């Protein structure tokens, strides 16, 4: 893999991980278009996701430090933060179960660009419905246990390339009446244990990485981190301004165009 390929894919990952257009779907299509791209397992994809995880940790550093310190603090805010920790754990359980049970099936889909295009169309439908069905009145800023389990299940299904993780999870919470900013924040924080778990499962692929490939892999990861920081900020503004339908149109266009050329 060349440095150009790695950095290009890192930028694609950083932009599409947080914008609700499916990072995995765009990576599959980009790798397909590059033609000569090869990787052991899905290690490179996981490293790019790790780059965006670091971006989440940086952007939501105050949230993360508050959640961790709440475990030994005893003030009123700490009680609310401990409840949020419990919700993140509850949401991670269905994601982990789905990922472990269907890991091989999901990985096989990464080699089927047609499926990716169809799932992009599905992502567009989810985003469109979310904007149409979201609470136009007083949306909830407090999450419930049911919210966490629902969004964790949706996140598990979003391993399918072409289904946007951020888009589907935010859409699910919006349709359940959760405030847009609260939904986006929970979606990003819930991604941390899921991506870190996927990285641990891909450690075995490290042996297949040649010495000459290490630096391009690192360059791609750094590109994903920097681009991700910019796009988190952008998406938070998009959710506040209720503009998700524009990304629905993009997903339909990208999925339809991909099917046109592939079929």
Question: Positive or negative, the Cα torsion across 35, 39, 44, 46?
Answer: positive
Residue 217 pLDDT level (bands cut at 50, 70, 90): confident
| 8 A C-beta contact, residue 169 and residue 18 | no
Give the number of domains in the chain: 1
Find the domain containing 242 and state its range. Answer: 3-262
Tokens standing for residue 67: 């959640």
Averaged pLDDT score across all residues of the chain? 84
Helix/strand/coil for 60: coil
Per-residue pLDDT reduced to its tens digit, 197-213: 766 665 555 555 555 56
More confident residue, 33 or 133: 133
pLDDT for residue 40 is more than 50: no
Residue with token string 């397909």: 32
What span, in angstroms and rounded, lies between the C-alpha atoms of 161 and 8?
A: 18
Give the residue carrying structure tokens 């681009």: 227
> Looking at 116-220, which runs of residues are DSSP E strands?
none
Q: Does residue 38 register a pLDDT over 70?
A: no
Residue 261 confidence class, pLDDT cut points 50, 70, 90: confident
Residue 90 or residue 204, greater confidence:
90
**Model confidence pLDDT, tens digit, residues 177-186:** 999 889 999 9
% of residues, the chain, pLDDT over 90: 34
* Cα distances (angstroms) measured from residue 110 to each of 26, 113, 198: 11, 7, 15
Give the pLDDT confidence of 140-193 residue by residue, as tens digits: 889 999 999 999 999 999 888 889 888 999 999 999 999 988 999 999 899 888
Is residue 43 over pLDDT 70?
no
Q: What is the pLDDT of residues 44-78, one digit of tens each?
A: 777 777 888 888 889 999 999 999 999 998 888 89
């Amino acid at each position: 893999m060349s440095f150009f390929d790695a950095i290009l894919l890192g930028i694609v990952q950083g932009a599409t991980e947080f914008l609700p257009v499916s990072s995995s779907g765009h990576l599959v299509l980009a790798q397909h278009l590059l033609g000569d791209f090869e990787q052991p397992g899905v290690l490179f994809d996981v490293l790019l996701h790790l780059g965006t995880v670091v971006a989440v940790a940086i952007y939501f550093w105050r949230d993360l430090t508050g959640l961790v310190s709440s475990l030994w603090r005893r003030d009123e805010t700490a009680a609310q933060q401990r409840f949020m920790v419990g919700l993140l754990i509850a949401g991670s359980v269905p994601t982990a179960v789905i990922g472990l049970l269907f890991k091989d099936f999901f990985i096989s889909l990464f080699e089927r660009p047609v499926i990716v295009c169809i799932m992009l169309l599905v992502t567009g439908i989810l985003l469109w419905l979310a904007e149409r069905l979201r609470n136009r009145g007083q949306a909830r800023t407090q999450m419930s246990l049911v919210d966490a389990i629902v969004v964790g299940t949706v996140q598990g299904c979003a391993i399918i390339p072409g289904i946007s993780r951020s888009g589907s999870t935010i859409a699910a919470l919006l349709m359940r009446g959760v405030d847009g900013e609260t939904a986006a924040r929970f979606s990003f924080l819930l991604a941390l244990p899921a991506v870190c778990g996927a990285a641990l499962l891909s450690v075995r692929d490290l042996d297949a990485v040649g010495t000459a490939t290490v630096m391009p892999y690192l360059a791609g990861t750094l590109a994903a981190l920097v681009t991700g920081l910019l796009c988190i900020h952008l998406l938070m503004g998009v959710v506040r301004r209720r503009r998700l339908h524009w990304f629905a149109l993009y997903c339909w266009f990208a999925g339809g165009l991909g099917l046109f050329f592939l079929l």
